[in-house]
A and B are shown apart, each in its own frame.
Chain A
């Protein structure tokens, strides 16, 4: 069942089209990736989901009802443009933000203690936000988003500002929230986290949807006959490009050689294996699915020139 359904929404600022007929649905209890280059329309989409902006046309349904303020009030929202009151104490500020979400003060304090334990930040409670480092502030910001136990979360670039260790910690918290039943919309351009986290994605480019579906289906459908081979000896010869397979690249990895090939049209994987067996000792042979990153770059760079022109417009709002 769709937790949130976006049906053909469009948005225009003056002459600039921010979003055109974009539709997608976010299944309940899944992590949904909203992907796209800067200025593609991600932030506009999210601002319409949080009713900061309204679509010019189209409809948004939340649990089968037209999206209303009360739905938004229950969401947890971590905007890309985020910050905290610098002069306020950490606890005090979290209580304030939780109260605005409709939580009672005592509930807020209980949840704050819980999260401070989880993220090992207990000793910051009394500090002012301005005395914390950027990464610490990001943690507080993350806590403020999930404090009121939302069942629908919008996380816009949640890992920016974290070092790799803390990014992993937040990542595992996101997965835990999903396991506890929350639906999560994740907007990012860090593609490696998409493959790890997302069940479904929607890719927006130049205000339009260019791709959506489950991550596995998308990778499957975008495969281009790439194979990855691990072998013991270096490869001294290349297979015949037109008849068999094109050699793409190679590297060494943990004492073995890893080569990638693109099969020639109508060529047989068995034929390639046969050829390889004559030259090297095979360790493994597998079909290489394109990464989401590869797909993203490929789709987005198809229209590079017009994309740059758009990026300038997009900074207007």
Chain B
């Protein structure tokens, strides 16, 4: 049997039977689900209504529609100082003051509160005043409600990609969700399993088993065996997650589908147009999912995941070989994780303009391309860009592996003094022959 294969098998088996792996495999989908659902759920929890005082000297707001959800508004006639007093004593959380002014162009509107108001509250207050002014102007111009409604336009533009022959409709939201999900998965896997490679190397080094093994295999075989073995663990975990997620989804659908349908029915009767809109949106999402090239996304996910992992785990292996323990490795961690963090940070900008020059360059630079390119792929990337990015990544992988192996073979037998970048450089140049 090939020795690298024996090493891969050991790495795989010893890791897969660890309790942490089994636990992560089972809880992974649940945790990811929670990660998606909990923040949304938190925002939907209704906060207590905020009691607000309005002192209007202009009469602008008196007959206007001031209803805003989350705000409990009352008007007051007491003079300004007294009203302020009510706020600072804590009875009301804020005071909106509109002085006697030109109601078509109000000046000097102020808001008093004990704490800095949130962005939401600012917008709400502005909306209240703006709505009142608009209504005033509309009445002055003699425009009726019907006329105003007739003036409003709401044109829907269908986004159609010419790339597909059937000109399917595209939905940027679905594309960005897929982009985000795949990019984050790659980021998490690289970090999680790259660090496992590093830990493994440190373990072998500090256990002092490495010299025993080196009388049987070349350092390069040992390093590659570990990297590939850990990659297999990562893929296995991913596979388990996919199977579990599909299983959970099916089970949930069977259990809750009847109840959901009933709930839908109840909800739809008073607000039929709303339900119709939902159905339309649903159809759009479905058709845009159809428009997305799933084999292409899956294929590029696997390619970028594997290549990205291989590049980073080479770096992590070299780092592990150069240090005696986890603590020593910290100082060298940042330079390796920095490109990963940067890729995550630019995702927002890439999303705004998936074919902009920023997106282009970050999806070409090999340390950021695995994550950034995955963000772009669901939006459609020219084939040559994809090919170029992958070729750069492959060449870079070969270069990194060569460099890492040079550091690794010296590093794993090196014990004692702390190393610096200068020693690493010397190891690179160090020749055995």
List residues of A whose CB falls within 8 A of some B CB: 47, 50, 52-54, 69, 72-73, 75, 77-79, 81-88, 96-97, 99-102, 141, 144-145, 315-317
Contact = CB atoms under 8 A, between A and B. Distances in A.
**Which 3 interchain pairs have the tightest Cβ spacing?**
A83-B208, A100-B216, A77-B215
Given A50-B215, A79-B211, 12 more contacts: A52-B211, A77-B211, A82-B209, A84-B209, A85-B203, A85-B209, A97-B216, A100-B3, A100-B213, A144-B212, A145-B212, A316-B417
Contact of B14 (A82, A84, A88): A88
B214 interface: yes
Given A96-B6, A144-B212, A81 B217 contact: no
Interface string B1-15: 101001100100010
A203 to B, nearest CB: 24
B242 to A, nearest CB: 29
A99 B433 CA distance: 29
Contact of A99 (B6, B14, B432): B6
A84 B216 contact: no
Interface in B187-218: 203-204, 207-209, 211-218
Contacts of B213: 97, 100
B299 interface: no
Contacts of B212: 77-79, 82-83, 97, 141, 144-145
B416 interface: yes
Contacts of A82: 208-209, 211-212
Contacts of B203: 85
Given A81-B211, A100-B3, A52 B216 contact: no
Interface string B415-433: 1110000000000000011
Interface of B: 1, 3, 6-7, 10, 14, 203-204, 207-209, 211-218, 413-417, 432-433
A99 B211 contact: no
Contact of B207 (A47, A52, A75, A85): A85
A169 B10 CA distance: 32
Given A88-B14, A96-B6, A81 B415 contact: yes
20 contacts: A50-B214, A52-B214, A53-B432, A54-B432, A69-B218, A77-B211, A77-B215, A81-B415, A82-B211, A82-B212, A83-B207, A84-B209, A85-B207, A87-B14, A88-B14, A96-B6, A100-B3, A141-B212, A145-B212, A316-B417
A75 B14 CA distance: 27
Contacts of B215: 50, 52, 72-73, 75, 77, 79
Contact of B416 (A47, A53, A315): A315
A4 to B, nearest CB: 15
Given A52-B214, A73-B216, A81-B415, A100 B6 contact: yes
A9 to B, nearest CB: 13
Contacts of B14: 85, 87-88
B1 A99 contact: yes
Contacts of A47: 413
Contacts of B417: 316
Contacts of A83: 207-209, 212
A316 B217 contact: no
A201 to B, nearest CB: 23
Contacts of A84: 207, 209
Q: Which of A53, A77, A100 has the most CB of B within 10 A?
A: A100
A88 B212 CA distance: 16
Contacts of A101: 216
A88 B211 CA distance: 17
B214 A81 contact: no
Nearest to A89: B14
B205 to A, nearest CB: 10
B12 to A, nearest CB: 12
Nearest to A69: B218
Nearest to A50: B215
A220 to B, nearest CB: 36
A210 to B, nearest CB: 26
Nearest to A100: B216
A143 to B, nearest CB: 12
B413 A96 contact: no
A149 to B, nearest CB: 15
A182 to B, nearest CB: 16
Contacts of B415: 81
B223 to A, nearest CB: 14
Contacts of B10: 96
Contacts of A78: 212
Contacts of A97: 212-213, 216
A86 B216 contact: no
Contacts of A144: 212
A89 to B, nearest CB: 10
Contacts of B1: 99
A69 B215 CA distance: 9
Q: Which of A77, A79, A101, A102 has the most CB of B within 10 A?
A: A79
Contacts of B214: 50, 52
A127 B251 CA distance: 41
A53 B219 CA distance: 12
Nearest to A54: B432
